[in-house]
Amino acid sequence: MSSETGASLVQAIQERAADFMEVEAAFDELVKRVKIPINSTTPPALQQAIQHDPFSAAGKYGILFVIMLIALLVIATLIRMYHFWGDRIRTALYKEEVLNSARSWSPGVIRMDDVELPSAITDTSSTRHFFPSKGPLLPEKPKQQASVSALAPINNTIALFRWLFYRPVPPVSVGSWRFVFPSLGVIAIVFVALLASMLYCFLPTPMFYASMSYGSPPLAIRAGMISVSLLPWIVATSSKANLISYLTGIGHERLIVLHRWAAYIFAIFTVIHVVPFWWQSVHDPDGFRIWKLYFPPRPWYIYTTGIAAMAPLIFLTVHSLPIMRNRFYEMFAMLHAPVAYGFVGLMFWHCNKALTSWSYLWATVALILTSMILRVFYLNWMNPLWASWLIGEESAVTILPENAVKVTIPTRRRWRPGQYMYLRMPGVSLLENHPFTIASLCSEDFPSEYGDEYRDMILVFRPFGGFTRKLYNIALQKGPYKTYRAFIDGPYGGMQRQMSSFDQVIFFAGGSGITAIASQLLDLIKRMRDGKATTTRVHVIWAMKRPELMEWFKEELRICRECAPPGAMLCHFFITAAKRYEHLLTPDMRETRLSGLRDKINGALQGVASKRNSAMMSEGEHEMKREAEDVITALPQAYLAPPRPRDSTLSQAQSDAVRKFDFGFPQTPTQFQKNLMRFAFLPTQSRRDGWRTEYGRPDIAYMLKGLSAEFGRRTCIYVCGPPSMRTEVARTTAALQQEVFIDPNKDEIYLHAENYAL
């Protein structure tokens, strides 16, 4: 081979290598649409299209949701800060007024011995352990405190939005199908986001090139950038522990609605992204053949990676539909997050650094990792300094009247009134967890019998299916002396506002919805007696089928009635059923292989906990334990079910009724009395202390409108019950917002609705 031939061969190889390197360098910019330079041979149509909507600027279409959602986040944060500081300023001003009134008020000859302090009480069953029952009452609350939250224009603007968005959307029934819509606020946000993004995607021109050989369809590029920019927000609203909740105070249980609708919008724009590629490849095969040549050596890269990413997206979208999610919830809970993480990984593969797509994907990954790190602080078994590390807490399960289940978990975890948590019990179900509202108050006045550092987290619920029914069955089989390891994830949620900053608070509860109200009520009454609440009047309206439900929170309501300031608490109970509930659910006694495995796992965890507690005890504590040991050691009384009523004579029953705390309930009406309710109400059973009972259903609209005449400057309406009750309360509260406009003495009527299912 001559030297000239060798030189030419080397030169040819170098030229090929240079061409290959040039193609490889430009590959990242040419993933879906080719950046073709304009020259003298460029067709006029292509010149106009490239100059009007250049590919290098196509990343701007992902900015729309970023700007829109950041603006919405800033507005929600500012509203939260406005209410946050306004509530605390009013409470602080009231405390100062109380102190000034106490200094100027002469107590006369009252001695310190006449005032009982909570810390001096040793009887934990006494009401006085909660707060003092003797001594002078606090001075009367001043009529008005000036604060930043008394600005009429701001309050009227907020009332206007509440007048509009508090109104519920009625469900629509089509045959046997029933469609339930989200709140008007969610509908407005979704509608504006969808409309703006659609206009931003379809108004710019061109939508297609004259030939696919000119590049990928511009409409597909715009839709792709809009959809990928939504991914960080979908992840941010899906996590239990997320930054949005910290900034806005909106709990995960409410953000999850926005998460679902954002995912639906993402799916819509994904379809818009796919269809132009398919349509133009079918109608312009010659241009499509040339278009594939822009991606050597992988001409099918875009299509194969797109189909791979589309498969998990279809699964996530279909399985997230309410009808599918409710039917296969256990499968949904186990597969949703892993499939979603896999989908994000496939999006990296598909986008391949096109434009600014990877910026949104890396932001998504950062939010996922942040959520995982924050979740660690919500798990009771992840703190190595606690006895529950890796083994959970000990818990007891008892059966209450009306087939209710009570779970008591002594824990070092702290919570606020009205919050909820996710409970996992390996001795009941290995993989399932379930959300429950925490019914007990976390307060130093209620320490657990496990120690001063512990508080009894109490959950009360009715079993329906899944985890709750399994727990009910095992509780009946094992009895009240069986303990289980409990793994807590939470607490989450809770009311955004400070309830003690309202002048008047009205609670509506339907059936077991009282579980979300009990802790709020205890906390509010305590703050009122301590001079830490501006609240002067509390109304409780509880509708229940039978009076046996009162046994669930009999002690809590007794404390509230006896310790609330005189005339401050009014309770109105409605009994809607004619017969007493005597049916006991039959437990499923079938034993399976998983039953034995669950018992072994629970026993192993209990053994580790016993050894760990024994190692942490000092020698003196061991000696005291051995001296106090008996052959059979029962659980603390707080974890045992209340005793069933015994047979007694008529005279004994009458004498017991005098001493018994029955809230003024008459006997359950007969069927004849129930039939009379069709024509007239039975005589109201009332007491002088404001506690009354009626048979029938409450007329919520009539009651709220009647109570509105006594509203102070700020009123809070708190409801937890079935959808019909929440709908009626929300509709009436929306109508009452007009009073803020016309009455200068009313600044706010606030509504907080809890999910009945938690």
Q: Which amino acid is at 429?
A: S
pLDDT attached to residue 564:
86
Choose among 204, 269, 257, 192: nearest CA to 230.
269
pLDDT in tens, 298-348: 667 778 888 999 999 999 999 999 888 888 887 888 899 999 999 999 999
What would the pLDDT profile of 398-418 be if each residue is shown by its tens digit? 998 888 999 999 999 999 999
Quickly list H helices, 1-122.
Answer: 3-27, 44-52, 63-104
Q: Give residue 592's pLDDT.
A: 65
Phi, psi of 207 (to 5 degrees): -85, -35
Per-residue pLDDT tens over the stretch 671-683: 444 444 433 343 4
Instruction: Say how far apart CA 714 and CA 537 lie, in whole Å.
Output: 12
- pLDDT winner (highest mean) among 140-144, 446-450, 737-741: 737-741
Residue ranges, CATH 3.40.50.80, the chain: 499-582+658-754
Packed helices 152-165 and 723-736: angle between N→C axes, nearest 10 degrees: 140
> Measuring CA to CA, which residue among 554, 517, 491, 563 is closest to residue 716?
517
Is residue 200 a contact partner of residue 226, using CB atoms and an 8 Å limit?
A: yes
Report the distance separating Cα 74 and Cα 87, nearest Å. 20
Q: Which amino acid is at 242?
A: N
The DSSP output letter for 533 is -
Cα→Cα distances 747→318, 457, 557, Å: 45, 36, 30
Q: Which residues have a Cβ under 8 Å from the Cβ of 99 and sit 6 or more positions away?
A: none
Query: Is residue 441 pLDDT above 80, yes or no?
Result: yes
Q: Phi first, then psi: give them for residue 733, nearest 5 degrees.
A: -65, -40
Write out pLDDT tens, residues 360-403: 999 999 999 999 999 999 998 888 888 888 889 999 999 988 88
| Angle, CA of 391, 392 and 398, to the nearest 5° | 125
Q: Among 337, 261, 311, which residue's Cα sits nearest to residue 65?
A: 261
- The predicted model gives 233-251 an average pLDDT of 91
Virtual torsion, Cα 458, 548, 751, 96, nearest 10 deg: -60
CATH 3.40.50.80 for domain 499-582+658-754, yes or no, is yes
> Whole-angstrom Cα distance, residue 597 to residue 757?
30
Question: pLDDT-derived band of residue 94, with 50, 70 and 90 as boundaries?
Answer: confident
Cβ 504 vs Cβ 64: under 8 Å = no
From the list 409, 500, 497, the residue with the least C-alpha distance to 450 is: 409
Percent share of the chain, pLDDT over 90:
37
Burial 713-750 (b: 16+ CB within 10 A, else e): bbbbbbbbbeeebbbbbbbbbbbbbebbeeeeebbbbb
Residue 33 confidence class, pLDDT cut points 50, 70, 90: very low
pLDDT recorded at residue 30? 42
Strands (E), 583-720: 685-686, 691-695, 714-720
Q: Where in the chain is the domain with CATH 2.40.30.10?
A: 393-492
For domain 393-492, give the CATH number: 2.40.30.10
